[in-house]
A and B are shown apart, each in its own frame.
Chain A
Amino acid sequence: MKILKNAVAGTLESSDLFIQIEPDEKELTLEIDSVVANQYMDSIRAAVLETLKEFDVSTGKIFIKDKGALDCVIRARMETALKRGGVETL
């Protein structure tokens, strides 16, 4: 499945994150900026990639500004963004 249109999800409030996604047929671009990058970058990246896998999305542009969101929040916002971007529900 693929991202069909631009979409956003989340906010820039503390404990939340803001996600922007854009279609891209060829490759996966993932940019993550996080206030807890030193402590949690690996786990943030894993949560994003796992959500993409769940929705069977392998290409697209994904930009994330994280304000210290928990894993379950990251997964929720990713799911919201993908569904808004035209990726069908599994």
Chain B
Amino acid sequence: MNKLIGSVKEAIEKAGLKDGMTISFHHHMRNGDYVLNMVLDAAARMGIRDLTVNASSIFDIHEPIIEHIKNGVVTGLECNYMGAKVGKAISKGILAKPVIFRSHGGRAGDMENGSSKIDLAFLAAPCADEMGNCSGKYGPSACGSLGYAFSDALHADKVVVLTDNLVPYPLKDTSIHEGYVDYVVQVEQIGDPARIVSGTTKITRDPVGLRIAGLAAQVVKHSGYLKDGFSFQTGAGGASLAVAKYVEEMMEKEHIKGSFCMGGITGYMVDMANKGYFDTILDVQCFDLKAIESIRENPKHQEISAMRYASPAAKSAAVDSLDVVILGATQVDVNFNVNVHTDSNGYIMGGSGGHCDTAAGAKLAIIVAPLIRARLPLIVDEVLCKSTPGETVDVVVTQRGIAVNPKQKELKEKLIKAGLPVKDIEELKQIAEDIAGVPKRVEMGERVVANVLYRDGTLLDTIKNVL
């Protein structure tokens, strides 16, 4: 049996890609990914049209997809996150059919329950053997975990592995194994290593960001969850990471031993685990070189799939065992609904990723964000897009006060008792507007350019075009 094929074009032919089909991609190559563009270019040259692209994330490097949309090669787009470049074009209405936004857990769940069907999956593999055993841990384009790609491999009709690092059979340390793989293509480069991961992910130096992080860490401390067995997730953003630093200081002082940390993993979380603050790292995506090195060498550092991470269709997922998650927001409304899909002008520039999954699963979901960003108040009457429902958000931490969801009465009492600056969310909104002035409401168009699905597949919100 020979799975090794000479070119992307040949793989597309053999796999039987036809007009109207759905193809999928995963985003561990992040803004360094060459694979999505490579495949779409080849399909376009072959005259294939009317494709639906289901990519776990679309980054700015995928800007050429805009041309493919204009030319009718791509007529459908589904993703969990979309960078500002493609997002702006979508918001301007270049795609007739609304984009489908899911969460990381929702994407995996929808593939599992069959509501999201993939005809052909393309896996970017930093190393693979000729039968398609592959891993993200080795090679010049190493990205660490291949977490989001598992669903694609399991559920697509046909699976093509693209690698720039073909190794002799059998690959010693396999993540996704040959049983799911139809074809293997060796290409020159699957991505730009400099843009796949950061060298090191650094904690913010912005004093306001640090202040917010310090307050968030106090919330974690006084919530009662910071005790032995503590589990924790935080983003790679500078302020989220700073929360981890303050939490670590508290764990050190109080001799607390946590159980696991999870999510997109940075060197900072690796250090915390190595120092003994967490037993296990559950890793769906690596953000920096240190995380990649760790997932390769540290047995405590486990690669997990998007299903294991967050799928609502699974019998259980790791988010269900999570104590505390730290999340960001571009807007929060007075009902605690969070927008991470659009900017304040309504342009798409993000997506849920694991935002709504972890908020729903974690016992304590904390939003950290500055109360005012370049004059724009964080807290609004109604978010431009409901990315995460307010009932799953527990606390909003800003530099000028902490708002606790009214349904968390006990938590609110605890934080007040601890002397933290707890305020009603309406009061925070008022403080921001006293400083910045009341912003004029942004008028959106009439046309739906994206449907935002909640993790269970139901429609959570729609995003309209920008005028």
Contacts and interface: CB of A to CB of B under 8 A. Distances in A.
Q: A contacts B directly in the complex (CB < 8 Å)?
A: yes
Interface of A: 14-15, 35-36, 38-43, 67-71
A15 B440 contact: no
Nearest to B373: A68
A36 B442 contact: no
B437 A43 contact: yes
Q: Which 8 A-B pairs have the closest CB atoms?
A: A68-B374, A39-B439, A68-B375, A36-B375, A39-B440, A38-B442, A14-B374, A38-B345
B345 A69 contact: no
Contact of A15 (B345, B375, B437): B375
Contacts of B442: 38-39
Contacts of B194: none
A36 B376 contact: yes
Contact of A40 (B373, B375, B435): B375
Contact of B376 (A41, A43, A68): A68
Nearest to A16: B374
Nearest to A35: B374
Q: Is the interface of B mostly helix, strand, loop or mixed?
A: loop
Contact of B440 (A35, A40, A68): A40
Given A40-B436, A67-B374, A70-B435, 20 more contacts: A15-B375, A36-B344, A36-B374, A36-B375, A36-B376, A38-B344, A38-B440, A38-B442, A39-B344, A39-B375, A39-B376, A39-B439, A39-B442, A40-B437, A42-B440, A68-B373, A69-B375, A70-B375, A70-B436, A70-B437
Nearest to A69: B375
B132 to A, nearest CB: 48
B374 A40 contact: no
Interface of B: 344-345, 373-376, 435-437, 439-440, 442
Nearest to A15: B374
6 contacts: A15-B374, A39-B375, A42-B440, A67-B374, A68-B373, A70-B375
Contacts of A14: 374
Nearest to A37: B345
B379 to A, nearest CB: 14
A67 B344 CA distance: 14
Contacts of B375: 15, 36, 39-40, 68-70
Contacts of A42: 440
Contacts of A36: 344, 374-376, 439
A15 B9 CA distance: 50
Nearest to A39: B439
A70 B374 CA distance: 8
B445 to A, nearest CB: 13
Contacts of A43: 437
Nearest to A66: B375
Nearest to A67: B374
B380 to A, nearest CB: 10
Nearest to B440: A39
Contacts of A35: 374
Contacts of B439: 36, 39-40
Contacts of B436: 40, 70
Nearest to A72: B435
Nearest to B345: A38
A42 B441 CA distance: 12
Contacts of B437: 40, 43, 70-71
Contacts of A67: 374
A35 B344 CA distance: 10
A35 B373 CA distance: 11
B454 to A, nearest CB: 28
A44 to B, nearest CB: 9
A58 to B, nearest CB: 26
A14 B376 CA distance: 12
With a 10 A CB-CB cut-off, give which of B344, B345, B374, B442 has the most chain A CB atoms: B374
A38 to B, nearest CB: 5
A55 B374 CA distance: 28
A71 B344 CA distance: 19
A68 B435 CA distance: 12
B346 to A, nearest CB: 9
A42 B436 CA distance: 13
A77 to B, nearest CB: 14
B377 to A, nearest CB: 9
Nearest to A34: B375
A71 B434 CA distance: 11
A75 B440 CA distance: 20
A15 B436 CA distance: 11
Residue in A39, A41, A70 whose Cβ sees the most chain B Cβ within 10 Å: A39
A43 B438 CA distance: 9
